[in-house]
Structure 1
């Protein structure tokens, strides 16, 4: 059963009952950040990618992955960061599981989406999907993308476009060129879909295109995307 704790807003002193969300480990077990009941929540004044993620180890298989840092919005307008137990580490600094070897990997469970309400949710959904495909070290890309947010992992460069306009051919070409310069595969996630000519460019260049629906499930919209899902990285 999901853990719930009382959380008092430091700004207005209003109290909330917060239920921590759980996410599916690659082994299929639900994983949730362990909440720290002894520490007070803090108000988020400036977001950074590293602060938005926390390292959590699956109690079933021992695999450690990065999951969204728990937070909640107060009606007064403050965003509260709920404290958790354990060290927070930037994405891409995953260490080996206990024992020094790779954790056993059972068959991959079905992807569990995260509902999209904000641009940050769209980035989280794309990052979780890349991890579900098999890319463990998902992090914020070093290079800024012309539109949206860049995500990177070993062998892949993704762009998440949470804007209200369909992605253009230039958006797809810029991502492909950047990924090509880094010898990485390119993947595009868009909240508003793609212009028809953008799909044509993506098919020609072999760029997988996904549309993010509001449930948080990326939907493949071209053959390269279908092949990527079938391959599961």
Structure 2
């Protein structure tokens, strides 16, 4: 995996960014080629063209669209990592105009798994919110749910087999940037993701989560998560 040094222009913090590797349809590991030495750019406005880059598979020569490499700095800035441009495929090459999604995303099951009634945990602190979300993930059927002792720089609050989750206990609605950072972390780890929030979600955050198929839940102080989008409804229905 290729790694480059990155300095956040907002807080001047230094990072070592490692490009994520995704499977090409042919099975070969594929990653966007980073442009070493080029300055990173803070993301203040998103467009479809900026969110995807063309990547050529070294195994089969296929050209496809992959997520633009990004880094979420702990200061809150989201940084776009420059990549080397790829020449257009020749007459004999294959290309695809649609983005390739990693193959780890599971298909929904047709029959719900039987579950006992959920027993919530009353939320009094931010730590309680994370604990309530952990109980809910276990109730949904996720295995090996763990809660880090301290919140890492990635802001991932919970990990389980094939899943990462973020819990926003702030008093303002969860922002678009928070949803996208979770999505990028899930892509890098080749796992699914779930978001829990106490104050709900900004409209653009909900719209982005719907497009990325990220389940969104809101929690009240009783500690009972409620689905707020279709992916969350599907997860509640089918379980893990």
TM-score, normalised relative to structure 2 = 0.50
Task: Report the counterpart of residue 212 of structure 1 in structure 2.
Answer: 219
| SS of the residue 2:165 aligns to | strand
Structure 2 Cα separation of the partners of residues 107 and 229 of structure 1:
11
Residue from 133, 157, 180 that aligns with 2:187: 180
Please tell me whether residue 144 in structure 1 is matched to residue 152 in structure 2: yes
Task: Report the counterpart of residue 193 of structure 1 in structure 2.
Answer: 200
Alignment of structure 1 residues 1-233 onto 2, 5 Å: 107-140=114-147, 144=152, 150-233=157-240
Structure 1: where are the runs of 5+ without partners? 1-105
Call closer, same or farther: CA 1:145–1:133 in 2, change over 3 Å: farther
CA contact (8 A) 1:145 1:175 kept: no
CA contact (8 A) 1:146 1:171 kept: no
- Runs (4+) of structure 1 exceeding 6 A deviation are none
**Alpha-carbon deviation of 1:137?**
0.5
| SS of the residue 1:225 aligns to | helix
Structure 2 Cα separation of the partners of residues 187 and 139 of structure 1:
14
CA contact (8 A) 2:165 2:194 kept: yes
**Alpha-carbon deviation of 1:218?**
0.3
1:182-231 superposed Cα distances (whole Å, 9 cap, x missing partner): 11111000111100110000000000000011110001000000011111
CA contact (8 A) 2:133 2:167 kept: yes
| SS of the residue 2:218 aligns to | strand
**Alpha-carbon deviation of 1:136?**
2.2
Call closer, same or farther: CA 1:216–1:174 in 2, change over 3 Å: same
CA contact (8 A) 2:159 2:165 kept: yes
CA contact (8 A) 1:166 1:192 kept: yes
Structure 2: where are the runs of 5+ without partners? 1-112
Structure 1 Cα separation of the partners of residues 145 and 164 of structure 2:
9
Call closer, same or farther: CA 1:145–1:211 in 2, change over 3 Å: farther
Q: Please, what is the CA RMSD of the aligned residues?
A: 1.9
